[in-house]
Structure 1
Amino acid sequence: MNIETALKEALSIPGAVGAALVDIESGMSLGTLGGDWLDLDVAAAGNTEVVRSKLRVMSALGLNDGIEDILITLHRQYHLIRLLQSAKGASTLFLYVILERERANLALARHHLKRVEADLMV
């Protein structure tokens, strides 16, 4: 599955209103969809800092583990960050999805993003 199809799949999650595929190294989005009321490129860059910060803390603590996803809970939204595993096991990309809290099912959204990750070819 290509980037455009992956973003369409992510946006098909019930409650999803915006999605982006983001490069952790640069903080740049490789593609965005939806979120017309929100600058997804700015959100991608900001959430890259969240991911980098968590990776630094894990390293400082000597945790020998990886991040599957990060959830940011707002009053009206969920912001879900799914780190994508490469063939070498290191995360270099993440999927970022904004969900309307009233319509979203987090377990379903996480399962759906895992499936998108498995099919995505970058």
Structure 2
Amino acid sequence: MASVEVSLKEMMAGIEGAMGAAVVDYTSGMALGTLGGSKTLDLTIAAAGNTDVIRAMVRTMEQLGLKGQIEDILITLDSQYHLIRLITGRGGNGLFLYLVLDKARSNLAMARHQLKRVEAQIEI
């Protein structure tokens, strides 16, 4: 089991091309922890904004009558990938991992695989 701080360090150091990472409570939009980022990548603002993305996806799934759970959401920009992975186990309900990747330096499939591993090990 890993703490929020350890999980953030693992995301930043263990995932090639990581530019920023956060653990976020999507009921409030507040980041429980962040690591990385820059002047142009404010992770607290991104955390709050991505909370709206999750809420919209949940509403849409309800309206469509889709059953199942969201595993992750990918937003692709011209130079970045933004990955949102919902935390499903051990008290993680209402939380998500947020990872920003440099598109030119990352392997999306490996990043998703590693993010899944971090999600399985995090303990809140």
Structure-1-length-normalised TM-score: 0.95
Unaligned residue ranges in structure 2 (runs of 5+): none
Identity across matched positions, percent: 58
Distance in 2, matches of 1:93 and 1:14, equals: 23
Structure-2-length-normalised TM-score: 0.93
Indicate the SS of the match to 1:22: strand
Indicate the SS of the match to 2:38: coil
Distance in 1, matches of 2:49 and 2:62, equals: 20
CA RMSD between the two structures: 1.3
State the Cα deviation string for residues 62-113 of structure 1 (Å, max 9, x = none).
111110000000000000001110348x841100000000011011001101
Q: Post-superposition, which runs of at least 4 consecutive aligned residues in structure 1 deviate over 3 A?
A: none
Q: What is residue 44 of structure 1 aligned with on the other side?
A: 47
Q: What is residue 5 of structure 1 aligned with on the other side?
A: 6
Counterpart contact for 1:28–1:41, Cα < 8 Å: yes
Counterpart contact for 2:89–2:120, Cα < 8 Å: no
- The question of 1:72 aligning with 2:75 is answered yes
- The Cα of 1:39 is off from its aligned counterpart by 1.2
Count of aligned residue pairs for this structure pair: 121
Distance in 1, matches of 2:46 and 2:117, equals: 23
Counterpart contact for 1:86–1:92, Cα < 8 Å: no
